[in-house]
Amino acid sequence: MLIASHLLFLVVCITLFTGVSFAEKIPDYYKPYAPIYTDKQVYTWTDKVHITIVSPAWNENEYGIDSIGDNSDNPVKISTASSSLGPYRLTETSPNSGVFTGEVTLTGFLHDADGDGISDTIPRTSGTGPTNGLLEAKRDDGITISFEFADGVVLTKSATVSWNVGQVAFSSPNYLADDPVTIQVNDPDMNLNPENLDQIPIEVYTDSDSAGISVVAVETQDDSGIFESTISLTQTGESSGNRIRAFLGDTITARYEDRTLPPPYGIPDELDITAKSFVGSDVPSIQKVSIEEPHTADSNGKQVSELTKGNQVQIINHIHNNQDYRQLFTAIVQITNEQNQIVSLSWITGNLDAAQNFELSQSWTPAESGNYRVETFVWQSLDDPSPLVPSYAKSFFVK
Ligand SMILES: [Ca+2]
Ligand SMILES: [Ca+2]
Ligand SMILES: [Ca+2]
Ligand SMILES: [Ca+2]
């Protein structure tokens, strides 16, 4: 808006002076007008800084591309606390724009940003413009751009340099077995080269593979500072390359180690940044499995309706996997008497294939007559007693 209104002002001036023979407009000492803009207010240590100076007074030739800043009388200088560039040339964006632009790439300082023991930057300061400038920058630094608009009239603009705490995210809160899993890391500090796709290492692990895999995340665009890696899940093979072993119900974790942290962290500090997702359908956990009403049978599998003490009987339960994916489970069958004492307890651990029906059969010889209660539980595992279905209870009478 500001630029637009001043450009409008310039157009008005040109119109007013059309009849007057000003071949060049001389910079006005008393009304210095040359606002300096940067594309960001805060840069990271290896960013590219885009500089714009709107200076209609320096549009000396309205039919040609003018330059500013590259002479020692009216220099443009770009400085950090320890390094400085200039005189630095900026060039007009079009013959009659009066808008001058240039770029300077920050080159940071010696630092191992990815933890391989080798510094990842080549700090250096050189260049005369408009786009070849390289300028060293520290972690908590400032950038000052100055333009000597007229003799002794210096206009300036400042920006800051700092590091950022990275962020990690999964593309989805849960994944099905065949879904590609995309992990995204946002850490502008690892855009070490604004002209190329950079890469960062990330670690991925699951409940089924706690050692996990190390994968490379690649920058989405040359200058984005956003990195992505896509991996796949396997339930049958081992982890390898970009594939990780994960069973239904597993938590999947991605970890990025950020070695480019802002204060209060120190420059050598590291911070593990993690994100979690879930392997499995989005069926509510309590409806993953269903249990049919249990019945009793003899040793040949023939259903019996009358139970008598001292005679062995089979308690038959059917459980069903309601998901399209394999489900790890532990099923527990507990029998209690009228005094609520457990007289029989057994469990089985296994995997239910997609939509599989599974028969649980427990033999039991009631020692006493009376009322008994059979309760069936289906849990994730003995270690993780998250129910996959509410427990099912049924009473039996033994003569
Ligand atoms: Ca011009
Ligand atoms: Ca390194
Ligand atoms: Ca890059
Ligand atoms: Ca960082």
Q: Is the dihedral of CA 204, 231, 234, 357 positive or negative?
A: positive
* Block residue for tokens 């692990």: 205
State percent of the chain over pLDDT 70.
Answer: 91
Inform me whether the pLDDT recorded for 324 exceeds 80.
no
Burial class (CB in 10 A: 0-12, 13-18, 19+), 313: buried
CA 246, distance to chain mean position in Å, is 20
- Residue 22 CA, ligand 4 centroid: distance in Å: 53
- Residue 89 CA, ligand 4 centroid: distance in Å: 32
Q: Are 329 and 367 in contact (CB under 8 A)?
A: no
Closest by alpha carbon to 194, among 152, 165, 223?
223
- What's the pLDDT tens digit per position in 101-122? 999 999 999 999 999 999 999 9
Ligand lying closest to the C-alpha of residue 191: 3
- Residue 100 CA, ligand 2 centroid: distance in Å: 37
Average the pLDDT over each of 27-31, 50-54, 159-163, 218-222 and give the range with the smallest value: 27-31
Going along the chain from its start, the domains and CATH numbers come out as 24-161 (2.60.40), 167-279 (2.60.40), 285-398 (2.70.50.60)
Contacts of 157 (CB under 8 A, 6+ apart): 35, 36, 37, 38, 144, 145, 146
For ion ligand 4, residues whose CB falls within 5 Å = 164, 166, 187, 189, 258, 260
- Residue 63 CA, ligand 1 centroid: distance in Å: 6
Q: How far apart are the C-alpha atoms of 68 and 378, rounded to whole Å?
A: 77
- Residue 52 CA, ligand 1 centroid: distance in Å: 15
Ligand lying closest to the C-alpha of residue 189: 4
Closest by alpha carbon to 110, among 81, 138, 82?
138
- What's the pLDDT tens digit per position in 31-86? 668 899 999 999 999 999 999 999 999 999 999 999 999 999 999 999 999 999 99
Which band of pLDDT confidence, cut at 50, 70 and 90, is reported for residue 13?
very low
Name the pTM for this structure: 0.66
Strand 153-161 and strand 42-43: the pairing is parallel
Query: Given this model, what pLDDT does residue 288 score?
Result: 86
State percent of the chain over pLDDT 90.
Answer: 75
- Residue 67 CA, ligand 1 centroid: distance in Å: 8
Alpha carbons within 13 angstroms on the beta-carbon side of residue 218 total 6
- Residue 75 CA, ligand 1 centroid: distance in Å: 18
